[in-house]
Structure 1
């Protein structure tokens, strides 16, 4: 099994120490511990962790079967990475307090042209249904035509406390893997990518300027680097998920203003991916991440 692992990339991150009990929590408040993560190829043991991240994205959708989509992701050998906690070899099994199979992030792509797979056909149907809800025939026709071509569904999911910096090595690795797959005549030669971003919007705020009233709306991305991708996109389609998101982690409140969870379908040309990775690297310095 270890022969299929990628060379781990150690990523030191400071996270809150939740190990203290309530009796000493006052003294331990603000304490931080150093946690190391590693990126490697998805394995069967990662099924539940990957499924959980997909459910975080699709919520209670009755169209997308997250179990089947997870199976499709695991069936792709040599494509994609998961982030897991790095467990020192010297630790015995009983000394490990966290779940060693917890998946903190995933970066991968699936081919939307493989519509004979149930997981892919349901994902295609979901994208078309959300597009149709906008009641714009021209946009629906654009997406319908797009799905007739070579399109990859890009997955960039993680826990909210994992920083944007990890996106760079994960996407760089994914680009390399897709290039090697194309060299073996595998179907990873995409013209476009589609992804779904998690975001939050304020309710419309009414402001007055020189006696006139205007409505404004703030938008916050759960994965901030995805705002750069939106800036290079050909199409964005937003849909409200507030009725589905009772367990949606990471809701934001700013100055008492409620932030409502939304999702955004984003379409961008595949040729822009390399430039976007460079932009993410520049916008989110990786001084705290070592290869």
Structure 2
């Protein structure tokens, strides 16, 4: 179990040790992941880069510096995960922003407009579009990690977030949400076009179909959406088409087409969803 984090920025949580032994033929690598509160003078560039990665090509639509500054303005809400001490770049982060509380900030206006437009583009996200036009207290959850960071860090990060929100509400801070909205990423596999000129006509026709199955960059999202009021994927505004999928091939035949993803969870169900994530991925010990 991960202990509740003390809200004093100088007091850090107990950091678990995670073994990376995915390949039986490789040596086991023990890595100590440490959890830290946000520090503006240390984390600005690292958080900015991770948010850019999270929003993919659509990060160009927002002022990334303003997003990073807003995240870092909440030192007792959310976490960074690091390996080589507090004065290094984050390998992962998770935080939550109150869209209603910050509604007059230009970057939050841009984010809210973007979320609303994407919600209207998918029937499965219709409840979100209606919610944003009301006075609901929606907490926007932003979470990202480097590609080689193990998924086991996700459950402790979410658990600590719940603890921190509870402490903030006790202190009369604006974190009493009615809903949690998680922005994330999914992808579909798209057939490669690289070698189709030499492929037989019948095989070429079959190969171009690709797959309609949705895959998750963050495995925890598959669990979270089971508890969702609404969930769905959407195409990026700056999407450059399926032709770019080949540029994201990594030792496989199929290309990768990323999409944005949103998961809306009622506040009463969020803790249960986080518990399910821990059971699925295994919380770090």
Range class of TM-score, shorter chain:
0.7 to 0.9
Give the Å deviation of 1:86: 3.5
| Cα 1:254–1:133 shift into 2, 3 Å | farther
Rounded to whole Å, the distance in 2 between the matches of 1:174 and 1:167 is 11
Give the Å deviation of 1:78: 1.0
- Give the 5 Å matches for 1:162-201: 162-201=149-188
- Give the 5 Å matches for 1:1-291: 4-14=9-19, 30=26, 33-44=29-40, 45-61=42-58, 62-87=60-85, 100-113=87-100, 114-134=102-122, 141-146=129-134, 148-203=135-190, 217-241=212-236, 242-243=239-240, 251=248, 256-286=253-283, 289-290=284-285
Rounded to whole Å, the distance in 2 between the matches of 1:266 and 1:49 is 25
Higher helix share: 2
Q: Figure out how many residues of one structure are paired with residues of the other and give that number.
A: 252
| Cα 1:235–1:75 shift into 2, 3 Å | same
| Cα RMSD, aligned residues only | 3.3
SS of the counterpart of 1:265? strand
Rounded to whole Å, the distance in 1 between the matches of 2:72 and 2:26 is 38
Give the Å deviation of 1:139: 5.4
CA deviation profile, 1:85-143 (whole Å, cap 9, x unmatched)? 144xxxxxxxxxxx952211111100000211222222111112223444999657524
| Cα 1:245–1:105 shift into 2, 3 Å | farther
Rounded to whole Å, the distance in 2 between the matches of 1:191 and 1:269 is 6
CA deviation profile, 1:41-75 (whole Å, cap 9, x unmatched)? 01011011111110011123343222101111111
Rounded to whole Å, the distance in 2 between the matches of 1:105 and 1:47 is 13
Higher strand share: 1
SS of the counterpart of 2:219? coil
| 1:14 and 1:33 in contact (8 A); partners too | yes
Q: Where do 5+ consecutive residues of structure 1 fail to align?
A: 17-28, 88-98, 205-213
| 2:124 and 2:231 in contact (8 A); partners too | no
SS of the counterpart of 1:276? helix
Q: Where do 5+ consecutive residues of structure 2 fail to align?
A: 1-7, 192-208
Rounded to whole Å, the distance in 2 between the matches of 1:245 and 1:116 is 36
| Cα 1:137–1:66 shift into 2, 3 Å | closer
> Normalised by the size of structure 2, how large is the TM-score?
0.77
| 1:199 and 1:262 in contact (8 A); partners too | yes
| 2:127 and 2:229 in contact (8 A); partners too | no
| Cα 1:246–1:151 shift into 2, 3 Å | farther
CA deviation profile, 1:216-247 (whole Å, cap 9, x unmatched)? 62221011011111111122242224529999
> Normalised by the size of structure 1, how large is the TM-score?
0.75
SS of the counterpart of 2:82? strand
